[in-house]
Amino acid sequence: MEKTKRDITYHNKDVLSKILAENFKDKSLEIYGIHMPKICRILPTNLPEIQVNEMRIDNLFLLEDGSVAIIDYESTLKWENNLKYLNYIVRILERYKKREEILRKIRMIVIYTADVEAAPEEFSVGCITLKLEQAFLSRMESESIRKELAGKLEKGIPLSDDERMKLIVFPLTYKGAEQKKWAVKEAVKMAGQILDEEEKMFVLSGILVFADKIMDAATAKYIKEAIRMTQVEELWLEEGREEGRKFEREAGIKALVDALKSFAVPDEAIAEQLTKRYCLTPEETRRYLKSVF
């Protein structure tokens, strides 16, 4: 079937990456307990030589100080995760080597869901030591966050940057698969109450990307449908705005013609005013003058 303007590629990760890139700029991860410079932009995560059975890096950010931050989300503590992180680092260095660029610093940041409450900060095998920056979402008060955000959104109060970042990781602050699944749906419902469409899309996209590893297919589909409906709603709103502009224009023309006719202004003079004020063509002008308002 031929694609039209209204086809919505809500499942396309490029769309989500674009939304995140536009909205993550100048954001901080302090709210998660991660102390680092603000984000400049999201970098592509398609690192070279990824093995078939290996998951792609979760997030890759360029920071204000020129360093690169790798962010991975884990719900279990396994020593072999360190091998994955080392592979990420080597591949990022390979990317910069190909571009003949010098990378000043790489930060390996691990955000643990509430299922993990403590983890070693270093992985060492003698000749090499991997230093990790960690955040434990178990330290965030899930119910307090839910009540705080739900209360503001129910009243139509806009969320701050930090509050939107809280909402994005809200599902990961719960333990266990079932609780997380419930929390994802709660987060999506709350995101649906955000009035600003761009901010709503940012939060929904963030929830989908951040919670990707811990979601089953049905829950992922639920979020994607919410994203699709938001995009459809935006199309409807734009149609409504366009109709409103047309209505205002018609009303303005009617008011002008009525006012000038009430003073017995000749049609030629009215036509001149319509052309000057509304940029009407001669044909449109004649039509309005003949219309019975």
> Does 54 score more than 90 pLDDT?
no
Identify the pLDDT of residue 47. 58
- Output the pLDDT for position 10: 35
- d(Cα 243, Cα 224) in Å, to the nearest integer? 29
- Helix then strand then coil, in percent of the chain rounded to 5, is 55, 10, 35
Instruction: Answer for the pair 107, 121: CB distance below 8 angstroms, yes or no.
Output: no
Element (H, E) at 259: helix 217-262
233 has pLDDT over 60: no
pLDDT value, residue 178: 87
The predicted pLDDT at position 185 comes to: 87
**For residues 160 and 237, which has the higher predicted lDDT (pLDDT)?**
160
**What token pair was written down for 188?**
């999506």
Confidence of residue 7 (pLDDT cuts 50, 70, 90): very low
- Would you place residue 56 in the very low, low, confident or very high pLDDT band (cuts 50, 70, 90)? low
Tell me the per-residue pLDDT of 89-137, one tens digit each, with 9 for 90 and over: 998 888 888 877 777 799 999 989 999 999 999 999 999 999 999 999 9
When the pLDDT of each residue in the chain is averaged and rounded to a whole number, the result is 77
Q: What was the pLDDT predicted at 82?
A: 95
What are the pLDDT digits (tens) for 25-48?
Answer: 677 778 888 888 888 777 776 655
Give the tens place of pLDDT for each residue, 158-186. 999 889 889 988 988 999 888 988 998 89
Instruction: Measure the CA dihedral 181/183/185/187, to 10°.
Output: -150
pLDDT of residue 52: 39
Q: Give the model's pLDDT for residue 249.
A: 67
Integer CA distances (angstroms), 145 to 9, 168, 215, in order:
32, 11, 21
Average pLDDT over residues 73-81: 90
Q: Is the pLDDT of residue 251 over 60?
A: yes
